[in-house]
A and B are shown apart, each in its own frame.
Chain A
Amino acid sequence: QQQVKQSPQSLIVQKGGISIINCAYENTAFDYFPWYQQFPGKGPALLIAIRPDVSEKKEGRFTISFNKSAKQFSLHIMDSQPGDSATYFCAASPSYNTDKLIFGTGTRLQVFP
């Protein structure tokens, strides 16, 4: 079965620090890689997404780094804030079926003041 492996399972960061969450995939047909953010009691919401034609995408404090040869991508949160405390999911979609979205197992991020 197609998989997206996400690590770490949980992450504790001090305010102002950098949070880094990593994902790895196996299927080379994946060509869309979004990150979703989920606050407690809420549904996930799209945070940022990347396609493999670029190696990095930045939106404010959030950056996706993409390594096509290693089949890995990561989310970097710069200057982490307590309001960033949430669960983050990476995901991937194959080019041959853009209706499917395969999620990682999630990372619970806690940012302490």
Chain B
Amino acid sequence: EAQVTQNPRYLITVTGKKLTVTCSQNMNHEYMSWYRQDPGLGLRQIYYSMNVEVTDKGDVPEGYKVSRKEKRNFPLILESPSPNQTSLYFCASAGGGRGTDTQYFGPGTRLTVL
């Protein structure tokens, strides 16, 4: 089944404890992106990647890192999480290498930072 998977689905952590949220897609898509969803703010793009080893900042990149060493994987790294990073995170992928191609979203990761 073609899909985008995220792990973990739920995570509660404490301020300053480094964490990684994994994202993997099995559709051989070139484009991948991370978003955070907050009430009243909608979805905001954190980082995106047009292909392996090519990444760029979205609208809210502060406090996050990403890497794209393999086409299928695009992990989101929070090196020193803070409570304002408590949010619902979505990974997405698109086949044509651009954000304007249909983006397929993962199921989401709900992160709470205490």
Contact = CB atoms under 8 A, between A and B. Distances in A.
Interface of A: 1, 6, 9, 32, 34, 41-46, 89, 91, 93, 98-106
A99 B50 contact: yes
Contacts, number: 60
Contacts of B42: 6, 89, 103-106
B45 A43 contact: no
Given A41-B108, A99-B48, A103-B43, 15 more contacts: A32-B100, A42-B108, A43-B4, A43-B92, A44-B105, A45-B104, A98-B98, A98-B99, A98-B100, A100-B45, A100-B48, A101-B100, A102-B59, A103-B35, A103-B44
A106 B108 CA distance: 17
Interface in B10-66: 31, 33, 35, 40-45, 48, 50, 56, 58-59
B99 to A, nearest CB: 4
The prevalent SS among residues of A at the interface is loop
A106 B105 CA distance: 16
A43 B108 contact: yes
A89 B43 contact: yes
Interface of B: 4, 31, 33, 35, 40-45, 48, 50, 56, 58-59, 90, 92, 98-100, 102-108
Contacts of B31: 99
Given A32-B100, A44-B43, A44-B105, A100 B92 contact: no
* The 9 nearest A-B residue pairs measured at CB: A43-B105, A103-B43, A105-B42, A98-B98, A99-B99, A98-B100, A103-B42, A32-B100, A101-B99
